[in-house]
């Protein structure tokens, strides 16, 4: 049984927008590992992140990112948390879509910090995306990054329980 202070994995993304589906896919794969006391949730956008991660530690967030400097499928890992230097405005590239997802993952993390609800450790695992077109499947590079992202998340979770 998990508690509110259990490790938390959050997959962010829309299942029908190409590479944006990778966050939920990775989160579900992490859930399939059956790691003890780990809560796994999926959201289409980061607006609920502040409430969802309150009291959890660590928090691992997986999301597709638009990163012109990275090849599709490349992992971009950032770590922050309570007592750690805030993320800069451009730390987490926006996906370019409108709607609430444009609020941005870095903005959600920094809002949690301002509200004093940021966990001690938050690991953001971004997967550089090739496209976010409606109805498209994962691009080959992003599909190949699923298992490395699952491993990266599992490593964080296992280290936290050691």
Structure tokens at 78: 């950032």
Residue 69's pLDDT is 81
CB 76 within 8 A of CB 138: no
User: What is the per-residue pLDDT across 5-30, written as a single tens digit (0 to 9) for each?
Assistant: 789 999 999 999 999 999 999 999 99
Residue 102's pLDDT is 45
Residue 73's pLDDT is 96
User: What is the per-residue pLDDT across 81-140, written as a single tens digit (0 to 9) for each?
Assistant: 888 777 666 665 443 333 334 457 777 888 888 888 999 999 999 999 999 999 999 999
Q: Where are the beta strands (DSSP E) in 47-89?
A: 59-65, 75-80
Helix extents (H) in 68-125 = 105-114
More confident: 106 or 152: 152
pTM: 0.87
Q: Which of 17, 7, 45 is CA-nearest to residue 137?
A: 17
Q: Which of 7, 36, 2, 31 is CA-nearest to residue 156?
A: 7
Report the DSSP pairing between strands 75-80 and 122-128. Answer: antiparallel
pLDDT band for position 45 (cuts 50, 70, 90): confident
């Amino acid at each position: 049984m998990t508690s509110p202070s259990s490790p938390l994995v959050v997959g962010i993304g829309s299942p029908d927008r190409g590479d944006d589906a990778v966050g939920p896919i990775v989160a579900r794969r992490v859930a399939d590992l059956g790691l003890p006391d780990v809560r796994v949730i999926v959201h289409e956008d980061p607006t609920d992140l502040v409430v969802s991660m309150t009291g959890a530690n660590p928090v691992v967030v997986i999301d597709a990112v638009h990163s012109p400097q990275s090849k599709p499928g490349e992992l971009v890992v950032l770590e922050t948390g309570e007592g750690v230097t805030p993320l800069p405005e451009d730390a987490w590239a926006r996906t370019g879509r409108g709607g609430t997802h444009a609020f941005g993952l870095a903005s959600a993390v920094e809002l949690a910090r301002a509200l004093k609800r940021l966990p001690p450790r938050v690991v953001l695992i971004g997967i550089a995306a090739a496209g976010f077109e409606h109805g498209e499947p994962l691009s080959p590079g992003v599909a190949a990054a699923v298992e490395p992202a699952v491993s990266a998340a599992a490593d964080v979770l296992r280290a936290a329980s050691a």
